[in-house]
Structure 1
Amino acid sequence: MALFVGLTGGIASGKSTVARLLSARNIPVIDTDLISRELVEPGQPCLNELCQHFGPEILNEDGHLNRKTLREKIFTDSSARAVLETILHPQIRRIAKERAEQSATQAPYVLVVVPLLADPKVQPHYQWLDYVVGVRATPAIQKARLLERPGIDPPLADQMISAQSSDRERDAIVNEWIVNTGDLTTLARQVDQCHHKLLMLTAERTSSE
């Protein structure tokens, strides 16, 4: 039976790059951030709920979500962030598990990207994960990467980093860390090592069944 492997880490730590490298090795990747984007497409019930709470100003003229406006609301107001999570997270969890189970027959393990996995309100809902890989970088590197993204200034970058769990808090749930503070070659080498370890874990589970 395939392993369900969680991938987590702070914002701009390099989770997407790690997921992309593993996807290139034919590992199915279920990304909860991508699921959340699907849920707020025009016409989706979750987008309608967000508009009812936050107002029509969170929409662009074409009816799509204005992510910058919503991001500014939730990173400066914890109660607003809680409302967003109440609307989106149950649907994200349901879809993520369904897709992981569907992909489990296609590969030795399935990667499930959950940025907020260490959050005490989130982690209990992902007890079905067998193993957790964390990606870490220094706060200075995270901030520098965030500032390269459009619409993010230094104060917002600081808020986005501080709003999440720390790597020390993630230690409680992470089985293995990938350190993304160097170049892509160094990162790819770590990902390759992690991939082979996960293949071994899958083989051990299969042989014991």
Structure 2
Amino acid sequence: MIVGVTGGIASGKSTVARAFASLGIPWVDADDVAREVVEPGEPALAEIAERFGARVLDADGRLNRRALREIVFADPQERRWLESVTHPRIRERLMAHLERLQAGEAPYGLLVSPLLFESGQRELVARALVIDVPEAVQIARTAARDDVDEAQARAIVAAQLPRAERLARADDVLDNGGSEAEMRRRVAELDRRYRELATQPATPNTRGAP
């Protein structure tokens, strides 16, 4: 069984995933895969550079993520173009990673993805766990973590799936606005539940997954 872990920017998805990992649960991070597909030599990076020019590359020919982010979050059309280039490649690699994860001995695994719903990756998982924090917390954390001003942090949050819609599409929700101890307690509860679900023969392995 694969559980999709998603949430808005700076909601603590990776922190929650590491808490599951401490209980023996493996995970695949869609953000890591997204970085793989735009490494030097990858076709996606060549397409991005052709469209936006040298301003989105650094001196070593690697993607300048901050420059690209400023472009695509200012123009929804450019963001949609970028997604059309990267999302199919990300999905293909994710499926390969999930195949290897499913071949392991863990009772279930995680697919951690900020775009689980938006990119169609929901089809790859049996359940969707949403990590939730108030938008004000997202904005403050994003500004501090990514060294952007509040206006850009707000634009990033606004460009994502609305919080209410994300929650409405969740199978499970973990409120990550409290202490780390509370988060770990909730993760332990979910882990017990997922282990039980994974042993039930009727539980689907994935939905459209490999």
TM-score of the superposed pair, with normalisation by structure 1: 0.92
Task: Summarize deviations over 1:163-189 as a string: whole Å, max 9, x none.
Answer: 001221113421000001012111111
Letter in 2 for 1:183: S
* Aligned residues of 1:10 and 1:161 also touching (Cα < 8 A): yes
CA contact (8 A) 2:39 2:63 kept: yes
Give 5+ residue unaligned stretches, structure 1: none
Q: Does 1:13 align with 2:32?
A: no
Distance 1:45 1:33 in 2: 18
Equivalent AA in structure 1 for residue 43 of structure 2 = P
Number of matched residues?
A: 204
Unaligned runs of 5+ in 2: 205-210
Structure 2 vs 1, CA of residues 141 and 35 (structure 1 numbering), >3 Å: closer, same or farther? same
Deviates more, 1:52-61 or 1:165-174: 165-174
Amino acid at match of 2:181: T
User: 2:116 maps to which residue?
Assistant: 117
In 1, the alpha carbon distance for the partners of 2:95 and 2:123 equals: 11
Partner of 1:160: 156
- Could you list the per-position Cα deviations for residues 23-65 of structure 1 after superposition, in whole angstroms to 9, with x for gaps in the alignment? 2222221111110111111121111111011111101111111
Per mean C-alpha deviation after superposition, the further-off stretch among 69-78 and 101-110 is 101-110
The TM-score, its normalising length taken from structure 2, stands at: 0.91
Does structure 1 residue 147 correspond to structure 2 residue 130? no
CA RMSD of aligned residues (A): 1.8
Cα distance in 1 for partners of 2:179, 2:167 equals 24
Q: Identical aligned pairs, as a percentage? A: 36
Q: CA deviation at 1:69?
A: 0.4
Cα deviation, residue 77, structure 1: 0.4
CA distance in 1, matches of 2:143, 2:61: 27
Instruction: Quote the residue 2:76 is aligned against.
Output: 78
Are 1:68 and 1:151, in contact at CA under 8 Å, matched by a contact in 2?
A: no
DSSP-derived class of the 1:205 partner: coil
- 2:182 maps to what in 1? 186
SS at the partner of 1:165?
coil
SS at match of 2:24: coil
Indicate whether 1:56 and 2:85 are aligned. no
Cα contact 1:118–1:169 (8 A) shared by 2: no
Which string of whole-angstrom CA distances, capped at 9 and with x for unpartnered residues, describes residues 5-27 of structure 1?
A: 11111111111111111122222
